[in-house]
Chain A
Amino acid sequence: MKTPARVLADQVNQIQKSGRFSPRSASLPTWCPGCGYFGIHQGLNDCISSLGIPLTQIVTVSGIGCAGRYPFFSKTYGLHTVHGRALPAATGVKLGNPNLTVFAVGGDGDGLAIGGGHLPHIARRNIDVNYLLFDNSIYGLTKGQPSPSSPMGTKTKASPYGTIDKPLNATLMALAYGASFVARLFAGDPKGITEALIEGIRNPGFSIFHIYTTCVTFDKNFKTWAHLKKWTHALPQDYDPTDLGRAFNEVLKDDFSLGVIFKRDA
């Protein structure tokens, strides 16, 4: 005979199996096997599940690029806009219906090049949008051109002699623009992504999650799994994310320390 606890456990199992509350959609992601985006997908999905936010109350907004396709792989409401414009559209969605939880997702080309002019303004307006910046320092969907975060000397078909421009540091920019919550994360650590998202969603203003990730197809030299695993590490033990001055120093000193870099005191 089944105990009430057993019946409940069975029901929970059934619901989980049905996938009704799982954010993962039936469409298989179009990303290459081994892409870092799968880790981000898992991190965000786990955050949504564990917070129990109804999928109908979430809008995922994106621009163009490999990350732009993200909304199709999620069962939330989705708004797949044009190149570089996820943040303005997300601003409209959030102000249009403040009850919704809004995620904006996009790559480094989308967010730092063509859409780079929007980041300072959503940050200074402190719109309650959670922005996941997938930073693999390459244009993947257009088959491997240098991006604004590619290191100097990056060689691609479009830069056969190496790039001569200095890379942008999105975490540093977010701090300078006055973002009220800034985290730096790694696609190889979905659990860390989930934890930072859970904390960042609670921030009632603009939260940016700068996520280092890979392009296994077009970048064999810089942000590879092997490199990122070796280079990334936790923030110092005594780190205080409410100290903006310390946050600047940390980011200037160390490109690869991960965690919640800054959160403004409420």
Chain B
Amino acid sequence: MKILIADDSRVMRQIVTRTLRQAGFDGHDLVEAADGQEAHDKAQAEKPDLVISDWNMPEMTGIEVLRKLRAAGNDVKFGFVTSECTEEMKSAAESAGSAFFIVKPFTAEQFDEVFSPILG
């Protein structure tokens, strides 16, 4: 599968990548985006099977990216890995069509639980 990892922190993109590996999800094609606009553009151009996105990013927030993709008819499986977790955010994410919501700091066990049904 092709996975797009969107986070303005290069370190966090690396940690997401490493945690995916630690959770046993090796061998996937990984693409990165460093801000919301790039995430949107790559989600359209690269046609990933899964988008793992930060919430708070320059240019466009993660939720704006998701809404824009859905408005354009892009139905890619999309979810959030973010340090912020409020009920209003979770609710906004669900309404926009988010498939998961992982809060930083996260563990490989949490990744396993969330991504096993998606990545197999």
Task: Verify that A and B bind, or say they do not.
Answer: no
Point out residues on A near B: beta carbons under 8 Å. none
Point out residues on B near A: beta carbons under 8 Å. none
